[in-house]
Structure 1
Amino acid sequence: MMTLLKSAKIIDQSSPFHNKTVDILIENGIIKEISPSISSSENYKEYNFENLHVSQGWFDSSVCFGEPGFEERETISNGLKTAAKSGFTAVAVNPKTNPVVDNKSAVEYILNKACGSATKIYPIGSLTKNSEGKDIAELFDMQNSGAVAFGDYNKALNNANLLKICLQYAQNFNALVLSYPQDNSIAGLGIVNEEVNSTKLGLKGIPTLAEEMQIARDLFLLEYTGGKLHIPTISTAKSVKLIKEAKQKGLDVTCSVTAHHLTLTDDELKSFDTNTKVLPPLRTSKDIKALIKGVENGTIDMITSDHNPIDIEHKKVEYSNAKNGTIGLESLFGATNTVLATETIVNALTTNAKNRFNIKQTPVNIGEQADLTLFNPEGENLFLKENIFSTSKNAIYLNKPTKGTVYGVIANNKIEL
């Protein structure tokens, strides 16, 4: 079947049609024609969306699906459908599973379960066996089986020498190493940002120092070893400064920030809503300003949802006992679109992120495979429960204002709209 998108404004700096409003004709998953007007034929499936914008498919560098082991939270199948409806044609999935993805069989299992979806899955292998931070996992074998990077999700590597060895070893096959930024000896038993609100509410705090010390340590190690380092989900103003200085030195380092850290402060804690319990914790307006500036000037390379489904049994409990995590695929664009320019968001979800994780670029151009995200950047909305496609409903953005609408994706020779 031929698919015709009418009056689509293309947002893709790698495309010769960037910022032009055109019709796009797709046949068997390939873009056949792009022109100001294409006449519809009887066998064309035509789509007319309000204020339609099209970019190359978005990529989220940090999502969790429960399968295997936590299928009650999210299966791979439903997770990929959620990603597609949220505008993502590719996701990197963390090894937060049971068993942990620390060997090639586990990588191959995830890839096989994802066959036939509009959204492609890219497994992140565990950096250490069982994500315990003691011994290096089978990195080379996992990369040969399809893993795109290696890290222990939301677990800091306390052993500096082990990270040094990982960075040295990974260079032999040009692998990307992820290091979660938290010094556990400083964070202690903290559960929220250490600031005025934590004191007022009687909640144990995690100082920004915990993140910044770990980043400083990791950057020193990277300077010593060489290699490729990615620091996921930074959250403080000083973290942005440290990474900017490292890049100016020529170190091969990238970082990401979550949509909720770009838009929400620790004032959210006053509700004691356990959906606000995330790691790293929500910080202050000063941090938000620095993070937004970091995305705008390229210090922060990519935006992520850090999508982390948690079942109700582990969220509808006392705040101190609740598990960390929020779902975020469905709300990422609408949330970030309230504080960033649309083109900035698209760049942070496409070119920058894909390059780092070695994922093929697919510009919106004639002859290219259709790997498209369809959206409308205008319009004020509230993020409601009916906007959630995930099995788990632990959404930090529930009942909060968003801007814009995601229509879905055309990718992998499939349509999810």
Structure 2
Amino acid sequence: MNLLITGVTIADPNSQFNQKTCDVRVEQGKITAIGNNLKPANKEEVFDGTGAILSPGFFDLNCSIGDPGFETKEDIETATRAAMSGGFTGLAVLPHTKPVVHSKGEVAYIINKAKGNLVDVLPVGAVSHDLEGKELAEMYDMQQSGAVAFSDGSKPITDDGFMSRALQYVKGFNGLMMVHPENKSIAGKSQINESKTSVLLGMKGVPALAEEMHISRDIFLATYHDAPLHISNITTAGSVALIKRAKKDGVKISCDVAAHYLVFTEELLNDFDSNYKVKPPLRGKSDTKALLNGLKDGTIDAVCSQHRPQEIEFKAVEFEIASYGIIALQTVLPLLIKAGLDAGQIAEKLSINPRKLLNLPVPVIAENAEANFTVYHPAKEWEYNTANNQSKSANSPLLNKKLTGKVQLVYNNKQLQAYG
């Protein structure tokens, strides 16, 4: 598919055309020309990019799909359709499937099933067999088969000795562990943030301490082993402060935050809407402010979707028994725009840094480069509804709401997808 995009503003800190308004030509999967007043060629599709941003394709570090085993929640086909609609050209998919992705067989299954897709689907292998936190999974074999990192998904690794051995093992072959920070003995069965809101709602709260103690432990272990470690889904001001200090001390630590924690706060739970039930829980306004500051000063390396599809019978129930999670692939961009991130910050946190963390090639908007990009209009309004929801599931509090920030084109693997 040959394509000419006219009058688009490029947002790519690694490109010599960063922040410039240009025409961009793509032929046979490569960017062949970037300039002004490029003339349309024969059999070339032309897209008017006036007012739009062209960024390296978005990449998600933290996506859950149901394939294999839970395809009624989401399968690879629907997940990649949702990803494209949200501007993502790459997904790192978590291992909490059935069977768990804890050997090279499951890794190969995902890679083979996702072949030929516009969206790169890259498996994250489990740290522990069956996510039980007791026996190390076949991490080296999984890496050799294509796993890009290792995680027990939304399950924290509670055993300190096991965590220490896992870090030591992964360091031996330059792997990366991504961990969910939760001290379960302190969090208990609580489901919302510990605060005035939890008191008013009459529910036992999860203190910020449960997240921060777990991160403190992991910082000590990463320091002891001099091993890289990635903290997924941070949500508190204290977590930002801990990681900032650790980075200053030279610890090889990185972290991400899901887009909804930058906009949603615990006050949204006053109506007990289970679509706002996430793990970790939504926090307070001071935490949201600290997370935004952490993104801007470089403490937080990346933004992710934390996409967690759930069937309606697991969400349309009382809050206390509802499952955790939000479908989020199609709404990350509007939330980042609402949070106040500019085009350069979005490219850095959603396109460049996620791939750097996984040692993947980073797309660059440059002549003769492989075309892997997203075009979006930051001011265009659209309604997210059941007609354009590409996920199999519908557990989003943003459905039937007007959002600002619309993906218009995605291009990768010599394939183009356009949206009206």
Q: TM-score, normalised by structure 2?
A: 0.97
CA contact (8 A) 2:375 2:407 kept: yes
Secondary structure at 1:338's aligned position in 2?
helix
Q: Distance in 2 between matches of 1:4 and 1:342?
A: 21
Q: Supply the RMSD in Å over aligned alpha carbons.
A: 1.2
Q: CA deviation at 1:50?
A: 4.6
1:325 counterpart residue number? 325
What corresponds to 1:124 in structure 2?
124
CA displacement at 1:342 relative to structure 2: 2.4
Is the alpha carbon distance of 1:408 and 1:73 closer, same or farther for their aligned partners in structure 2, counting shifts above 3 Å?
farther
Residues 93-172 of structure 1 correspond to what in structure 2 (within 5 A)?
A: 93-172=93-172
Give the Cα–Cα distance (whole angstroms) in 1 for the partners of residues 232 and 400 of structure 2: 27
2:376 corresponds in structure 1 to 375
Q: State the 1:271 CA deviation.
A: 1.6
Q: Which residue of 1 aligns with 2:346?
A: 345
Maintained 8 Å contact 2:53/2:343: no
Unaligned runs of 5+ in 1: none
Cα offset for 1:191? 0.7
Secondary structure of the 2:19 match is coil
More divergent stretch after superposition (157-166 vs 48-57): 48-57
Equivalent position of 1:358 in the other structure: 359
For residue 390 of structure 1, what is the aligned residue in structure 2? 391
- Give matches, 1:38-117, under 5 Å: 38-117=38-117
| Aligned counterparts, 1:240-251, within 5 A | 240-251=240-251
Question: 1:156-205: per-residue Cα shift (whole Å, max 9, x none)?
Answer: 11100111111111111100011210000000010111111111112221
Is the 2:6–2:50 contact (alpha carbons within 8 Å) kept by the matching residues of 1?
no
Moved more, 293-302 or 4-13: 4-13
Q: In the superposition, relative to structure 1, how do residues 32 and 2 fare at CA in structure 2: closer, same or farther (>3 Å)?
A: same
- Retained in 1: the 8 A contact 2:92–2:122? yes
In structure 1, the residue matched to 2:274 is 274
Assess, with a 3 A threshold, how the Cα gap between structure 1 residues 393 and 50 changes in structure 2: closer, same or farther: farther
Tell me: CA distance 1:361–1:268, structure 2 relative to 1, closer, same or farther (3 Å).
same
Equivalent position amino acid for 2:379 in 1 = E
Of residues 121-130 and 34-43 in structure 1, the stretch that sits farther from structure 2 once superposed is 34-43
1:53 positional shift: 1.2
Q: Give 1:407 shift.
A: 1.2
**Residue 399 of structure 1, CA deviation:** 4.6
Identity %: 39
* Residue equivalent to 1:210: 210
Report how many aligned residue pairs link the two structures.
Answer: 417
Distance (Å, rounded) in 1 between the aligned partners of 2:208 and 2:292: 17
Residue 376 of structure 1 aligns to which amino acid in structure 2?
Answer: H
After superposition, give the CA deviation of every residue in 1:49-108 in whole Å (9 maximum; x if it has no partner): 452210111111000111111111111111112111210111100012111100000001
**Residues 330 and 387 in structure 1, CA contact (< 8 A), matched pair in contact too:** no
Alignment TM-score, normalising by the size of structure 1: 0.98
SS at match of 1:402: strand
Q: 1:416 corresponds to which residue?
A: 417
SS at match of 1:350: helix
CA distance in 1, matches of 2:391, 2:108: 24
In structure 2, distance between residues paired with 1:299 and 1:385: 37
**What is the CA–CA distance in structure 1 between the aligned matches of 2:402 and 2:238, rounded to whole Å?**
28
* C-alpha separation in 2, matches of 1:66 and 1:267: 30
Q: Letter of the 1:358 partner, please give it.
A: N
Is the CA contact (8 Å cut-off) linking 1:233 and 1:256 kept in structure 2? yes
TM-fit CA distance, 1:331: 0.5
CA contact (8 A) 2:70 2:97 kept: yes
Amino acid at match of 1:86: G
Aligned to 1:186: 186
What secondary structure, in the 3-state scheme, does the structure 2 residue paired with 1:370 have? Answer: coil
Indicate whether 1:8 and 2:8 are aligned: yes
Cα distance in structure 1, aligned partners of 2:417 and 2:33 = 21
- Determine the C-alpha separation between the residues in 2 that align with 1:307 and 1:342: 22
